[in-house]
Amino acid sequence: DSGVTQTPKHLITATGQRVTLRCSPRSGDLSVYWYQQSLDQGLQFLIQYYNGEERAKGNILERFSAQQFPDLHSELNLSSLELGDSALYFCASSVEPDGGAPLHFGNGTRLTVT
């Protein structure tokens, strides 16, 4: 167990809808990363938060947004969903803000857009 909790495990929704993915980082970790993994694809970086502030942004679509709350849990909001958004979304946490420490991944949320 990595100590990182992601909910829900599975989401099935229709095109045009909006969903929220939730992540609770490992105790003591201030940094939260969101990655997208499509079928047979690698891990695409979406966004990073550190201690409540956005720290880095990857190729995140404008339809996607995220935030980190005072209790350090994070939410990833995906709106106007398209078929191509179907993927496995991972949250990872770390003790450091600059990537110089291991990432601890949650079990992921599998999103299916129909």
Instruction: Quote the least distance from Cβ 16 to another protein, whole Å.
Output: 28
Strands 109-113 and 87-94: antiparallel
> Of the two residues 58 and 84, which places its CB atom closer to another protein in the complex?
58
Q: How far apart are CA 49 and CA 40, in angstroms?
A: 26
Q: Is the peptide bond before 70 cis (omega within 30 degrees of 0)?
A: no
Of 35, 41, 37, 42, nearest to 60 by C-alpha is 35
Instruction: Quote the least distance from Cβ 88 to another protein, whole Å.
Output: 9
Q: Which two tokens stand for residue 96?
A: 């450091």
Instruction: Quote the least distance from Cβ 84 to another protein, whole Å.
Output: 18
> Of the two residues 7 and 41, which places its CB atom closer to another protein in the complex?
41
Cα dihedral: 101, 28, 88, 86 (round 10) = -120
> Of the two residues 16 and 58, which places its CB atom closer to another protein in the complex?
58
Interface residue list for another protein (CB under 8 A): 2, 33, 35, 41-43, 45, 48, 55-56, 58, 90, 98-108
> Of the two residues 84 and 99, which places its CB atom closer to another protein in the complex?
99
